[in-house]
Amino acid sequence: MNDKLLVSPAPHLHDRTNVSMVMWNVILALTPALVMATYFWGIKALMLTLLGAVTAVVTEAAVQKFRKVPISVADGSAFLTGMLLSFNIHANSPWWLPVVGSVFAIVVGKQVFGGLGNNPVNPALLGRAFLLASWPTLVTNGWIPTRSGSINGINPDLIGTNLQTIAPKAYELITSATPLKVAQTIRDTSFVSSLTGSATENATLASNIFNSLFDMGTLKAMFWGNIGGCIGEVSVFALLLGAAYLLYKNIIEWRIPLFYIGTVFALSFLFGGITGSRYSVMLPFFHIFGGGLMLGAFFMATDYTTSPITKRGRIIFAIGCGVLTIVIRLVGGYPEGVSYSILFMNVMTPLIDRLTMPKAFGEVKK
């Protein structure tokens, strides 16, 4: 019997989790969001997502074959990267966009650094940043409404009668822009002053549009995802469902999402208003439901490799993400800042880890 006896150091028990279990569970947790996207935009959303994911898998296998290392695409991490990349483009994108993005994400974002576990920034977000820099109009324009016809959930009739004739620019805005784009445009004073005639009328109109961003109807549309946006980011409901699953399975930890979303909530409550708008506790909900925050906070900022390992570090990382997101949204040139703020904090991660080394249990002051 002795030739087959294993002698090894303790511990002799393991909780039987492994890398591919973690990855496929995250993919499973993202499935509700994909189902919602397919429901709202039809089969094209599903096809684009699968295209991105399959491209990522094929690319990773090819690069690994070229590098003469074991091919590890079965662990699901490439599939997940491709899926997240596709989740960050809208359903009206050309078919080659997720393909190019996935190839870039896998090759430049991941494999050149040595593959899973060694990449300094989130590959999917790097892929998105690459697409945004290379084809800015394709990525930031051409949003399409969902099948029920809405792009931001705002009802123009509630803002003013005959809006189309009185203020055509305002009408165009609220029928073609995503909620965050509306929020960004309405903060632009030169846009507001060009709306109709008198300054008072313009101000009233602007604050009416702004207030409508966070009335119950809009927020409801944003919660279910019945608005324009990227494939995977719109349905807060579906993302929360997946996030709850990951928290329950102990695959992600609560600190990063809580502090990220919490920071955005607090800062948007304090600084999110515009002159003449009403201050409401509902305003921050507009910011946390809007754009890619839910997707970013639960599925991308929590990426193992690119977030700090220390507990305090994770809190600093998340608050940093939150502050940058709000700064970009409120004063920056883009309507949305989730991906850039996470990328920026990814780069800060080694420094944060070094500065937040924990004290050992029972450590005495020197």
Residues lying near another protein in the complex (CB under 8 A) are found at 1-2, 4-19, 21-22, 114-118, 247-250, 253-254, 304-311, 314, 353, 357-364
Smallest separation, CB 10 to another protein (Å): 5
Let me know if 65 is exposed, middle or buried by CB neighbors in 10 A (0-12, 13-18, 19+): exposed
Smallest separation, CB 260 to another protein (Å): 16
Pick 94 or 117: Cβ nearer another protein: 117
Count of CB atoms situated within 10 Å of the CB of 317: 28
Pick 211 or 302: Cβ nearer another protein: 302
> What does the CA dihedral 197, 203, 208, 210 come to, rounded to 10 degrees?
120
Place of tokens 């697409």: 131
Pick 114 or 276: Cβ nearer another protein: 114
Smallest separation, CB 305 to another protein (Å): 5
Let me know if 18 is exposed, middle or buried by CB neighbors in 10 A (0-12, 13-18, 19+): exposed
Q: How far apart, in Å, do the first and last CA atoms of the chain sit? A: 54
Closest CA relative to residue 294, chosen from 221, 228, 244: 244
Pick 23 or 97: Cβ nearer another protein: 23
Smallest separation, CB 112 to another protein (Å): 15
Q: Cα–Cα distance between 225 and 189 in angstroms, integer?
A: 29
Pick 44 or 312: Cβ nearer another protein: 312
Task: Say if residues 278 and 318 touch (Cβ distance below 8 Å).
Answer: no
Smallest separation, CB 262 to another protein (Å): 14
